[in-house]
Chain A
């Protein structure tokens, strides 16, 4: 997985005034009703809709009605902000965005993308500031000089740029009006180089060669240099420079944020027209399509699902079939007895939904109230599958059973304070474990009758 979200800082979103949450690969949020657990899950949906949703017209707030309903205490004048500290393509990346409402429409007010010890891109309005780390430039001065010299003709003759001096790389400002919608869509032109350690790209010149001669000089121009390195498992776009690849993988990661809330059982059990899909819908209503596509491709469901079905529903086979009109639906055979959707257990649908979401390998999987519809044995299985999935998982739960199935280190305790929702990790889990052992009480008992935080 080329993307790992390590920490997220949210400001002014719903019940979060200002919180920073360190995420592990497996996270379980607990807390009373209305403490803000679901708001945390929803934030990932908001971010996805606001940054990468391709639907036109662009209306990312439609399900929340308006900005008023997503901003802290309905204070429309406040910006909503996020800072994600993550690993992308092996780089430590910090990506910050602030959103505001302009004439009722969500707009990006500013963006900042920092690649540790190397490069920072800051965008405010139409201006993009490119800042290179001086130590990084110094360490690679000889290589950069060589590359700039080698390609001066390309730069000056073909793209009509002025000669680039190394010292000018520390701080550059580029006017990027209408060039892109946000940093994740930034398009770059990599200079044709053979340097293995670093890559040089130009911002705003990617179409220069197609421009009429007289207009070339008017194009925006900025140079970005980053080291070449690839994390294992990253999407390796050979035709793409490392920064474009990093931005593409960050965009793909946000696109891959998967939020699962309360399944719409009626919708899941209704036959669906065939369609291509690679992310499970929040209410699970495209599960029929996901399963049917797998069945069409390989004549069987993925091993992960087959194994779970054998373990949790012995003597049961699951597949998909089509109606006379070509719509697809789930079919179950229990000891030879054919069961159509109205006769299939809700729990089976829920399990299929969660396993399908894992199998689609999302960059982050957030599931609200994981315990709904699940028997303890199935819950244990699903929790173990989620933990072993390798994906960053965020669960919310009200279930003492779940609290006892996970480690104290996994828990994030949600509380609503006058300063908004807080999500707190247990500070000294080892000490608490000893205390619980001494008292001979469980984690859930300590949560329900006492205070896990203290």
Chain B
């Protein structure tokens, strides 16, 4: 079976961001070009539509592994993770990884640009650069993978990406 990975994010711009990130990871050799990777939006933690969505993606579109990315928004990371896990179809539990950001994906941008995170990352970026969410994918080329290795969420993402892409 061909490898195909679906990355599910909580909002449209996150989906666009991960689509760009995957292109860069493939271009820079972090990820095999043979793995078909897509990104889509899901309804957020604790939404039972996730189960139907994943069933369709597996059964009709052929995705055989999943990474689900979500923001903790100040809640305990494990609690958010478990609220997602309960909606993963039982047959896909072993094929699914969950990555939770302490705040939000913008923490990667702050870290890459050497900006200290002392409040909500997107607010820091807005105040500094007039950042707006639709510009999120524009920051993919600015991500500094070396600096990001200090971030738990990045470590988790790469570890889980490798786990999913090397699993087959």
Contact = CB atoms under 8 A, between A and B. Distances in A.
B50 to A, nearest CB: 10
Contact of B49 (A381, A404, A434): A404
Contact of B44 (A304, A307, A407): A407
B46 A433 contact: yes
Given A433-B83, A436-B48, A311 B16 contact: yes
Contact of A440 (B51, B132, B133): B51
Given A405-B43, A436-B48, A381 B132 contact: no
Contact of B11 (A384, A434, A441): A384
Q: Give the interface size bracket for A toward B.
A: 20 to 34
A258 B130 CA distance: 23
A118 interface: no
Nearest to A306: B134
A443 B47 contact: yes
Contacts, number: 50
A380 B51 CA distance: 18
Contact of B46 (A304, A384, A388, A437): A437
Contact of A441 (B44, B48, B83, B135): B48
A405 B43 CA distance: 6
Max chain A CB contacts within 10 Å: which of B16, B49, B83? B49
Interface string B73-87: 000000000010011
Given A380-B12, A387-B11, A437 B86 contact: yes
A56 interface: no
B95 interface: no
A440 B48 contact: yes
B123 to A, nearest CB: 10
Contacts of B102: none
Nearest to A438: B86
B41 interface: yes
B80 to A, nearest CB: 11
B127 interface: yes
A78 interface: no
A232 interface: yes
Nearest to B12: A384
Contacts of A387: 11
A380 B8 CA distance: 14
Contacts of B11: 384, 387-388
A388 B48 contact: no
Contacts of B55: none
Interface of B: 11-13, 16, 41, 43-44, 46-49, 51, 83, 86-87, 126-127, 132-135
Interface of A: 232, 303-304, 307-308, 311, 380-381, 384-385, 387-388, 390, 404-405, 407, 433-434, 436-437, 440-443
20 contacts: A304-B134, A307-B134, A311-B12, A380-B12, A381-B12, A384-B12, A385-B12, A385-B133, A387-B11, A388-B133, A390-B126, A433-B83, A434-B46, A436-B46, A437-B86, A437-B87, A440-B48, A441-B48, A442-B47, A443-B47
